[in-house]
């Protein structure tokens, strides 16, 4: 079996092993593959493994031996699923591998904004504390989370994990979800989306990107938020209208934002959020702890092994 990994660097920059996949066939791993390189590299392959490399209907038509596409992520919009179904090509994804890591990043952003540890550590490394006339100093707003309201938009695995952490900090959790109130864990309250944005001190986005959720955070919804409220997005960049968010930040209409995703990745140089006030951006790394990537690799190998053995798991092209 010929197995081609089109863009393996994101998952494994060198600290993991491909040995599990090597045991399943003739493996070739490319760090990255451009659209112009895809067909030549994939010729004769029964299995393609992709993370962000697009695989189109035309690509599938040009690769008659292709039987299986493994997506190294939970989202699988990089593959034309309808074309795969029409050709009987199995497409698998990697569910629920990064739940704890992403929830941890949510609170890394929240704690950075509320405590600004990096800011003070950097200043003190330059000698600022040694020059202080008082035993302490601060020049940012410091916020205690206990007793504050945390809004969770979307209540899948990551939303649930984030909500549990919020409760551990003593926060009151409000949830926007299709689930009924009786289905929510004790102490969590179902509410409308607008009420959540209006009432909560922190809002964290955990819903999928759909036509209904695209730019759900826009000028009108941002106007509902408290002037010191914090917005966190570790989900998908296009959930937010970035122009509207930059305007709200620069005009001081909301407190701060922590983002691990943007509408275009890698970021374009003229993205207005890069220079917006109180906007803290990490480069889509919430999923990238070694522990989460190890789980991802193990599940990817398990998906492919199951395919070889004739019992398909995690197939999204049913």
Catalytic residue, from 41, 87, 253, 284: name it. Answer: 284
Amino acid 133: pLDDT: 96
Amino acid 28: pLDDT: 98
Query: What number is the average pLDDT over the span 30-36?
Result: 98
Specify whether 128 is catalytic: no
Q: How confident is the model at residue 83 (pLDDT cuts 50, 70, 90)?
A: very high
Amino acid 152: pLDDT: 98
Return mean pLDDT, the chain: 97
Amino acid 6: pLDDT: 98
Amino acid 143: pLDDT: 97
Question: Per-residue pLDDT tens for 251-296?
Answer: 999 999 999 999 999 999 999 999 999 999 999 999 999 999 999 9
Query: What number is the average pLDDT over the span 73-86?
Result: 96
Query: What number is the average pLDDT over the span 150-167?
Result: 97
Amino acid 317: pLDDT: 95
* pLDDT > 90: percent of the chain: 99
pTM value is 0.94
φ, ψ for residue 107 (rounded to 5)?
A: -80, -20
Q: CB within 8 A of 19, min separation 6: which ones?
A: none
Catalytic residue, from 236, 242, 293, 295: name it. Answer: 236
Specify whether 236 is catalytic: yes
Query: Starting at the edge strand that comes first in sequence, how are the strands of the sheet with 26-29 ordered?
Result: 26-29, 2-5, 47-50, 68-71, 90-92
Question: Per-residue pLDDT tens for 107-129?
Answer: 999 999 999 999 999 999 999 99
Question: Per-residue pLDDT tens for 189-240?
Answer: 999 999 999 999 999 999 999 999 999 999 999 999 999 999 999 999 999 9
199 closest CA partner among 162, 166, 173, 180: 173
- The span from the first CA to the last CA of the chain, in angstroms, equals 23
Amino acid 19: pLDDT: 98
Catalytic residue, from 122, 144, 265, 291: name it. Answer: 265
The DSSP code sequence of the chain is: -EEEES--TTT-SSSS--HHHHTTSEEEE-S---HHHHHHHHTT-SEEEESS--B-HHHHHT-TT--EEEESSS--TTB-HHHHHHHT-EEE--TTSSHHHHHHHHHHHHHHHHH-HHHHHHHHHTTTGGG-SSS----S-----TT-EEEEE--SHHHHHHHHHHHHTT-EEEEE-SS-GGGSPTTEEE--HHHHHHH-SEEEE-PPP-TTTTT-B-HHHHHHS-TT-EEEE-S-GGGB-HHHHHHHHHTTSS-EEEES--SSSSPPTT-GGGGSTTEEE--S-TT--HHHHHHHHHHHHHHHHHHHHT---SBS--
* pLDDT > 70: percent of the chain: 100
Q: Vertex 255, ends 252 and 259: CA angle to 5°?
A: 115
* Cβ neighbourhood burial of 34 (10 Å; 0-12, 13-18, 19+): exposed
Amino acid 20: pLDDT: 98
Amino acid 243: pLDDT: 98
Amino acid 184: pLDDT: 96
The Cα 311–Cα 303 span in angstroms is 9
Specify whether 293 is catalytic: no
Give the domains, in start order, of the chain with CATH numbers.
2-97+290-309 (3.40.50.720), 99-281 (3.40.50.720)
């Amino acid at each position: 079996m010929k197995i081609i990994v089109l863009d393996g660097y994101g998952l494994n920059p060198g600290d993991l092993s491909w040995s599990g996949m090597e045991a399943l066939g003739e493996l070739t791993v490319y760090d990255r593959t451009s659209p112009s390189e895809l067909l030549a590299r994939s010729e004769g392959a029964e299995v393609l493994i992709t993370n962000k490399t697009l695989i189109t209907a035309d690509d599938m038509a040009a690769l008659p031996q292709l039987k299986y596409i493994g997506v190294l992520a939970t989202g699988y919009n990089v593959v034309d699923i309808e074309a795969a179904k029409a050709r009987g090509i199995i497409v698998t994804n990697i569910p629920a591998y990064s739940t704890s890591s992403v929830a941890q990043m949510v609170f890394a952003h929240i704690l950075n904004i509320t405590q600004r540890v990096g800011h003070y550590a950097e200043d003190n490394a330059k000698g600022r504390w040694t020059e202080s006339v008082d035993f302490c100093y601060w020049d940012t707003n410091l916020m205690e989370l206990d007793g504050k309201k945390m809004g969770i938009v979307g209540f899948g695995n990551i939303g649930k994990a984030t909500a549990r952490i919020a409760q551990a900090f003593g926060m009151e959790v409000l949830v926007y979800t299709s689930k009924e109130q009786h289905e929510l864990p004790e102490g969590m309250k179902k509410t409308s989306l607008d009420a959540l944005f209006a009432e909560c001190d922190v809002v964290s986005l955990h819903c999928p990107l759909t036509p209904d959720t695209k730019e759900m955070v826009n000028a009108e919804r941002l106007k509902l938020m408290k002037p010191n409220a914090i917005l966190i997005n570790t989900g998908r960049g296009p959930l937010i209208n970035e122009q509207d968010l930059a305007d709200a930040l620069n005009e001081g209409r909301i407190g701060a934002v922590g983002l691990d995703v943007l509408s275009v990745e890698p970021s374009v140089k003229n993205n207005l959020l890069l220079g917006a006030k109180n906007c803290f951006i990490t480069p889509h790394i919430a999923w990238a702890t070694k522990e989460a990537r190890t789980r991802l690799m193990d599940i990817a190998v398990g998906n492919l092994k199951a395919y070889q053995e004739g019992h398909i798991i995690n197939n999204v092209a049913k």
